[in-house]
Amino acid sequence: MTTRTASAAADPPIETRDDLIAPFQKGEKPKQAWRIGTEHEKFVYRRSDHHAPSYDEPGGIRDLLMAMTEFGWTPIVEGGNVIALSGPDGAISLEPAGQFELSGAPLSDLHETCAEAARHLRQVKAVGDKLDLGFLGLGMWPDKRRDELPIMPKGRYAIMLRHMPRVGTMGLDMMLRTCTIQVNLDYSSEADMVRKFRVGLALQPLATALFANSPFLEGKPNGYLSYRSHIWSDTDGARTGMLPFVFEDGFGYERYVDYALDVPMYFVFRDGRYIDAAGLSFRDFLDGRLPVLPGEKPRLSDWVDHLSTAFPEVRLKSFLEMRGADGGRWNRICALPALWVGLLYDQAALDAAWGEVEHWSLEERQRLRDEVPKLGLATRTPDGETLQTLGKRILAISEAGLNARARFNASGDSESGYLDPLREIVTRGTTPAELLLAHYHGDWQGDVSKVYDEMSF
């Protein structure tokens, strides 16, 4: 999640509706300037006993952050606590229970993206060796109850933790017990954004299936392949979901502004602290009627903050975020951006992908999203085929898109090789979660702790 580093005092105030649209318009870039920003989270655990370390304990999360400065990372402090790091590879931040996230730098090709991920993992593993810490690539803590998990000292998290139980039954699980891989991608115009948004949203269930990697809860199978995805179904309906309006005629920046204005607020950041505005209206804020800041109107940074508190399957800021995948191992960190770059960064591939899904109804898209956490690649599409079958065609489209980009590394390899883990999954027809379940019922003999050996970086 976003880490604030400065106050809003120097930001321009929001004067007109055009100011609300401006962040989206400023995101427009010519094709040659399109970049790839990859985010990936991992669970941190003590190798000796698998417990989730607290922020303050010796060898805990604070010490982990500070040890990373040996690699050139610069601390970011909130309330006297180091809560993030900045550096040439982007930013390192903490999720609410100490999940460790790299928000990578905007890079020009997938070779750079994969090198960045490998560099980051080498660094955290080197630090982990010193601190007796391990790093787990899953979508859900496999064995931890909520009350066994620490809370990180970030102001916005305290507000969210109070608010989540008011609006859903699983918001605390989302915050404390899940990890994801995401990719942030650019667009050239409003029309380009719309087409990419629609393709990304319609195919997000396929990504969920390909990356499904959260089949355990508190030491046992939970009945799902992506429990992380299931959690989003009852986290906060006002800020999650498949956004049916994206597929309506006339969708664009204006309509997304209306959606975001209707998303209830979480907070306002002032003078280095977060003010609790949970459940309040940004529309009231625009009118100077926010009860916690009476008479004050928002600045641009307040709006940018607010945009980061909506959690749909695809999110628009000054770029598009693909948000449907569970956390996983190194090759899947590379595979997720490969999938979406191949589909969205080549016009022929984008058009072909849209041709696969444009005739689906809103109800059919929602049904697909609802069923995929349990059924994975066996989920039936609106056309009556399995996601496995559709996935083979979509991966072929993505491969063609990546080959058309003609970006090669020093060895002459194209970007399409990063799709190999996904090709293996659709050929096999079983998700990563199903492989873990086979181990659990087989050679692990019901001992879920074996997943630490199988899925650690």
Q: Long-range contacts made by residues 156-159, C-beta under 8 angstroms, separation at least 24?
A: 156/1, 156/4, 156/266, 156/267, 156/274, 157/96, 158/274, 159/266, 159/267, 159/274, 159/276, 159/278
Summarize the chain as % helix, strand, coil (round to 5): 50, 20, 35
Rounded Cα gap, residues 134 and 28, in angstroms: 40
Mean pLDDT score, 200-206: 98
| pLDDT reported for residue 188 | 98
CB of 322 within 8 A of CB of 314?
yes
Place of tokens 């094709």: 31
Alpha helix stretches (DSSP H) within 96-182? 110-131, 155-167, 171-177
Q: Exposed, middle or buried, 287 (CB in 10 Å: 0-12/13-18/19+)?
A: exposed
Element (H, E) at 320: strand 320-326
Distance from chain centroid for Cα 298: 27
Mean pLDDT score, 22-34: 98
Report CA-CA distances (Å) from 170 to 228, 232, 237, 433. Answer: 10, 7, 11, 20
- Smallest CA-to-CA distance from 342 within 392, 399, 290 is with 399
Segment 363-374, tens digit of pLDDT: 999 999 999 999
Residue 250: pLDDT above 60? yes
Segment 178-202, tens digit of pLDDT: 999 999 999 999 999 999 999 999 9
Three-state secondary-structure class, residue 15: coil
Residue 80: pLDDT above 60? yes
| pLDDT reported for residue 7 | 53
Rounded Cα gap, residues 399 and 396, in angstroms: 5
| pLDDT reported for residue 4 | 59
Segment 383-438, tens digit of pLDDT: 999 999 999 999 999 999 999 999 999 999 999 999 999 999 999 999 999 999 99
Rounded Cα gap, residues 224 and 394, in angstroms: 24
Mean pLDDT score, 109-127: 98
Question: pLDDT band for position 289 (50/70/90)?
Answer: very high
Mean per-residue pLDDT of the chain: 97
Query: Which domains are assigned to the chain?
Result: 17-455 (3.30.590.20)
Residue 315's DSSP bridge partners are 321
Rounded Cα gap, residues 250 and 398, in angstroms: 27
Segment 138-158, tens digit of pLDDT: 999 999 999 999 999 999 999
* Neighbouring C-beta atoms of residue 83, cutoff 10 Å: 24
Report CA-CA distances (Å) from 208 to 29, 107, 185, 352. Answer: 28, 24, 18, 20
Question: pLDDT band for position 446 (50/70/90)?
Answer: very high
| pLDDT reported for residue 1 | 56
Rounded Cα gap, residues 451 and 35, in angstroms: 34
Rounded Cα gap, residues 276 and 293, in angstroms: 10
| pLDDT reported for residue 370 | 98
| pLDDT reported for residue 109 | 98
Rounded Cα gap, residues 85 and 182, in angstroms: 19
Rounded Cα gap, residues 391 and 102, in angstroms: 28
User: Within a 13 Å sphere around the CA of 304, how many CA atoms are in the beta-carbon half?
Assistant: 20
Mean pLDDT score, 92-116: 98
The pTM (predicted TM-score) of the whole model is 0.97
Percent of the chain with pLDDT over 70: 98
Longest dimension (CA), the chain: 64
Residue 85 DSSP class = E
CB of 154 within 8 A of CB of 94?
yes
